[in-house]
């Protein structure tokens, strides 16, 4: 019950252990096609360029930035946690100019500041923000941020690592241009795969670059030949075949459950957990109006030893919860209710274990 | 029996299916430490910076190039197949200047040309070449090439994707500065992981760069904090935990067999296959003196339909062999004898199946 990787259900682990097909085998290509369709459902998009990058979420993030940014491009980055900072790193390493809006850890990105910045600098090309900040448990207003970007003719890059499958995310309806996620959060797949999707507008930008994408491995102009439509696939790299079995299985499970049902399950689980935490006198650090159900940031009570408690939960109760990062280090715990891990027996176990170690 | 991914033994597939630990769990960190040691054995190196990159071989290649090259650096690249070309792409995307030595597909890199180039341009910083060219079945003279580089005070980047575990490779003894491989060839692990190793000299170059590494995901200055020594690990990205179980298991199997025994097994398998091919009147495209035992490039006889034969082998005999790439497309087949796939029953099956479809 940490901030991810989340528990992986046996069905997905079993899928992993199937014999490794050749990565250009017709059966595997069929699985790639089905995976793309299922991902379109999960992202709520019709974008043809929707696929899993063969590497962790950090590489999915990098794929979005290196493909859309050319040297000198201005990118407005919203920071209210760890992953906004990482976006700035990406912008700068692409030769872009990052304009930064900072908000306090545990609060949302201020929409007024974003609008002011977009008005003041009409040459901003991209607005980048994190939908669900795993380091703080905050949900940013993705829909409204995308509307602001559209109003000022900006592209959007959205970090949906922790949001996909856990809370409402509608790529097409909200007008997101580039989005990346991770396999190991609310999809409860094994870590190592990063689903991404690019709008047709973003694809045009990528196709009309005046410079080459700086990463060969992440160049969408090349990858599209491997993951593209039809039976003719151009060899680019060797896909992590067994991890793709797991990805497919996890997306199939999401489809079977239904996206809205999955969102609701996370919300219900959160409500139960919050009730339990309150009964122990523990409080959540994030306002109810923009709190993530799948990532619960709990204030560590005064006088309680952070490391000792987490160590005891792990060794005595086989229960992992997450430490605070950055500004939140030593001040909070992060309890994940992601995907398969979000179920009543886990919530009961967590509350019972916390009760024992805190007394 | 294609050019990889090779067959994965049940023991490794079973390892994949174990429950996913947190990527900062003490048990997983223990596994990371053991994996590093086993990799040092496989690479025959004491390099402390030896670890598996959390992405396919193409990303391991990119990791070597983006970390060592700064804009303007001259890199001498030897091309005698597909993967040399990919190196040039990498050099150029890093802002480096690629100086290219080309040799015919199916032949070795000409050592005289390399020496002449190194003499003529003393400001060349790096010599980059492919040890085992998967596209042509040729072994390049890695040891001698490294000696030439050392003589001219050059760093070396060596592609060992197909050589690691299949033929002699001695990173320290040969003085290789940066080497990358893939999990899915002679290690018979699932695809998706790229073992790399950097010499202390290379590490100094990386630490003293005047520009940031252009990839955040592949920046060794950051990754070393995650894979570094000691119990304190800095979060960088989420490792593909289950694929790392597989990586560990495959390296353990190599250690159990013994590196020299594994090399010998590949050579013996190749000798058997070559005998069988000859009995069918089929010939190998590469000279015996620099032929790879693990990747056999077979000339397609006149009048034989390449695609039809491969399709029949797959559908009637459940046997995959590889098509020719680039200059070799339509002219050769590539029969892999990699890792677990290199065993008598496979060789017999392959020869028997070829006999049936060719008659």
Taking the CA of residue A227 and the nearest CA in chain B, the distance in Å comes to 15
Asked if A20's CB is within 8 angstroms of B13's CB, the reply is yes
The response to whether A299 counts as a known ligand-binding position is no
Six token digits for residue B188: 């018979």
Q: Measured between alpha carbons, how far is A265 from A11 in angstroms, rounded to an integer?
A: 19
pLDDT digit string, tens, across residues B222-240: 998 888 765 567 889 999 9
* 8 A C-beta contact, residue B65 and residue B129: no
Six token digits for residue B208: 């003293």
Asked if A190's CB is within 8 angstroms of B20's CB, the reply is yes
- Give the CA diameter of chain B: 63
Residues on chain B touching A194 (C-beta within 8 angstroms): none
The DSSP H or E segment spanning B256 is: helix B241-257
Q: Measured between alpha carbons, how far is A199 from A135 in angstroms, rounded to an integer?
A: 27
Its sign, for the CA torsion A6, A7, A11, A16, is: positive
Secondary structure of residue B137 in the 3-state scheme: coil
In the prediction, which pLDDT does B225 show? 86
pLDDT digit string, tens, across residues A295-306: 999 999 999 999
Q: Nearest residue of B to residue A325 by CA position? A: B235
Pairing relation of β-strands A155-159 and A124-130?
Answer: parallel
Three-class SS of chain A:
CCCCCCCCCHHHHHHHCCCCCCCCCHHHHHHHHHHHHHHHHHHCCCCCEEEEECCCHHHHHHHHHHHHCCCCCEEEEEECCHHHHHHHHHHHHCCCEEEEEECCCCCCCCHHHHHHHHHHCCCEEEEEEECEECCCCEECCHHHHHHHHHHCCCEEEEECCCCCCCCCCCHHHHCCCEEECCCCCCCCCCCCCEEEEECHHHHHHHHCCCCCCCCCCCCHHHHHHHHCCCCCCCCCCCCCHHHHHHHHHHHHHHHHHCHHHHHHHHHHHHHHHHHHHHHCCCCECCCHHHECCCEEEEECCCCCCHHHHHHHHHHHHCCCCEECCHHHCCCEEEEECCHHHCCHHHHHHHHHHHHHHHC
pLDDT digit string, tens, across residues B208-217: 999 999 999 9
In order of their start, the domains of chain B are: 10-256 (3.40.640.10), 259-358 (3.90.1150.10)
CB pairs under 8 A between A and B: 180
Residue A228 has pLDDT above 80, yes or no: no
What's chain A's average pLDDT? 96
Percent of chain A residues past pLDDT 70, beyond the cut: 99
In the prediction, which pLDDT does A143 show? 98
Measured CA angle at B36 (ends B33, B40), to 5 deg: 145
Six token digits for residue B17: 């299916």
Six token digits for residue B306: 């390449």
Q: What is the mean pLDDT of residues B300-326?
A: 95
Q: Residues for chain B: how many in total? A: 359
Please name the member of A22, A92, A246 whose beta carbon is closest to the beta carbon of B5: A22
Q: What is the mean pLDDT of residues A336-355?
A: 98
Pairing relation of β-strands B178-180 and B194-198?
Answer: antiparallel
Q: Report residue A257: phi and psi, to 5°.
A: -70, -35
In the prediction, which pLDDT does B227 show? 87
Asked if A320's CB is within 8 angstroms of B25's CB, the reply is yes
Taking the CA of residue B116 and the nearest CA in chain A, the distance in Å comes to 30
Q: Measured between alpha carbons, how far is A99 from A103 in angstroms, rounded to an integer?
A: 13
Q: Measured between alpha carbons, how far is A254 from A123 in angstroms, rounded to an integer?
A: 40
Map tokens 């797991």 to a residue.
A246
ipTM for the predicted complex? 0.94
Six token digits for residue A141: 């207003």
Angle of helix A142-151 relative to helix A111-120, nearest 10 degrees, comes to: 20
Residue A215 has pLDDT above 60, yes or no: yes
Confidence band of A230 (pLDDT split at 50, 70, 90): low
Q: What is the mean pLDDT of residues A316-327?
A: 94
Asked if A240's CB is within 8 angstroms of B58's CB, the reply is no
Decide if A324 touches B, using CB distance below 8 A.
Answer: no
Confidence band of B257 (pLDDT split at 50, 70, 90): very high
In the prediction, which pLDDT does B24 show? 85
Q: What is the mean pLDDT of residues B34-57?
A: 97
Residues on chain A touching B23 (C-beta within 8 angstroms): 5, 191
pLDDT digit string, tens, across residues B260-284: 999 999 999 999 999 999 999 999 9
Asked if residue B5 has a cis previous peptide bond (ω within 30° of 0), the answer is yes
* 8 A C-beta contact, residue B164 and residue B60: no
CA distance to A291, A303, A359, B150, per residue, from A279 (Å): 19, 19, 13, 68
Residues on chain A touching B188 (C-beta within 8 angstroms): none
In the prediction, which pLDDT does B261 show? 98
Q: Residues for chain A: how many in total? A: 359
In the prediction, which pLDDT does B359 show? 87
CB count, 10 Å around CB of B49?
Answer: 21
In the prediction, which pLDDT does B231 show? 57
Name residues 147-186 of chain B within 8 A of A (Cβ).
182, 184
Pairing relation of β-strands B49-53 and A124-130?
Answer: unpaired
Residue A311 has pLDDT above 80, yes or no: yes
Six token digits for residue A35: 């995976």
In the prediction, which pLDDT does B23 show? 86
Secondary structure of residue B244 in the 3-state scheme: helix
From the CA atom positions of chain A, what is the Rg in Å?
20
Asked if residue A5 has a cis previous peptide bond (ω within 30° of 0), the answer is yes
B10 or A25, which is more confident: B10
Taking the CA of residue B225 and the nearest CA in chain A, the distance in Å comes to 16
Taking the CA of residue A173 and the nearest CA in chain B, the distance in Å comes to 30
Q: Measured between alpha carbons, how far is A286 from A299 in angstroms, rounded to an integer?
A: 10
pLDDT digit string, tens, across residues A35-65: 999 999 999 999 999 999 999 999 999 999 9
Q: Nearest residue of A to residue B59 by CA position? A: A217
Q: Nearest residue of A to residue B11 by CA position? A: A17
Q: What is the mean pLDDT of residues B308-326?
A: 95
pLDDT digit string, tens, across residues B10-27: 999 999 999 999 988 889
In the prediction, which pLDDT does B230 show? 56
Residues on chain A touching B246 (C-beta within 8 angstroms): 242
Residues on chain A touching B191 (C-beta within 8 angstroms): 20, 23, 238-242
Cβ-in-10-Å burial (0-12, 13-18, 19+) of B322 comes to buried
List the A322-323 sheet strands across, edge first.
A295-299, A332-336, A322-323
Non-local (6+) Cβ contacts of A100 within 8 A are A76, A77, A79, A88
In the prediction, which pLDDT does A219 show? 97
In the prediction, which pLDDT does A231 show? 57
Of A35, A55, A299, A94, the C-alpha closest to A215 is: A94
Residues on chain B touching A214 (C-beta within 8 angstroms): 93-94, 214-215
pLDDT digit string, tens, across residues A97-141: 999 999 999 999 999 999 999 999 999 999 999 999 999 999 999
Q: Measured between alpha carbons, how far is A327 from B325 in angstroms, rounded to an integer?
A: 52
Q: Report residue B78: phi and psi, to 5°.
A: -95, 125
């Amino acid at each position: 019950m940490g901030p991810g990787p989340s528990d992986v259900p046996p069905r997905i682990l079993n899928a992993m252990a199937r014999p490794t097909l050749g990565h250009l085998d017709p059966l595997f290509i069929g699985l790639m096609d089905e995976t793309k369709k299922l991902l379109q459902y999960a992202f709520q998009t019709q974008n043809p360029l929707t696929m899993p990058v063969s590497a962790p979420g950090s590489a999915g993030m990098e794929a979005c930035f290196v493909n859309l940014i050319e040297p000198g491009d201005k990118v407005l980055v919203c920071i209210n946690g760890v992953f906004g900072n990482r976006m700035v790193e990406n912008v700068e390493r692409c030769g872009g100019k990052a304009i930064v809006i900072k908000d306090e850890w545990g609060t949302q990105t201020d929409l007024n500041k974003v609008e002011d910045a977009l008005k003041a600098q009409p040459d901003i090309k991209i607005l980048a923000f994190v939908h669900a900040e795993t380091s703080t448990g905050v949900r940013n207003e993705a829909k409204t941020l995308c509307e602001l970007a559209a109003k000022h003719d900006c592209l959007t890059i959205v970090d949906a690592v922790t949001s996909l499958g856990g809370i409402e995310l509608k790529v097409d309806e909200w007008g997101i241009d580039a989005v990346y996620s991770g396999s190991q959060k609310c999809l409860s797949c094994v870590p190592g795969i990063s689903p991404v999707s690019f709008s047709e507008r973003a694809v045009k930008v990528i196709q009309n670059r005046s410079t080459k994408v700086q990463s060969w491995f992440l160049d969408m102009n090349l990858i599209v030949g491997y993951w593209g439509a039809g039976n003719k696939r151009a060899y680019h790299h060797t896909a992590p075949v067994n991890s793709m079995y797991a990805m497919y299985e996890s997306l199939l499970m999401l489809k079977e459950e239904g996206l809205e049902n999955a969102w609701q399950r996370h919300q219900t689980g959160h409500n139960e957990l919050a009730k339990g935490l309150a009964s122990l006198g523990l409080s959540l650090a994030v306002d109810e109006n923009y709190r993530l159900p799948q990532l619960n940031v709990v204030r560590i009570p005064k006088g309680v030893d952070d490391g000792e408690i987490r160590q005891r939960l792990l060794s005595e109760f086989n229960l992992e919860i997450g430490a605070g990062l950055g500004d939140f280090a030593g001040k909070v715990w992060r309890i994940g209710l992601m995907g398969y891990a979000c179920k009543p027996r886990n919530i009961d176990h967590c509350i019972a274990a916390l009760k024992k170690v805190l007394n």
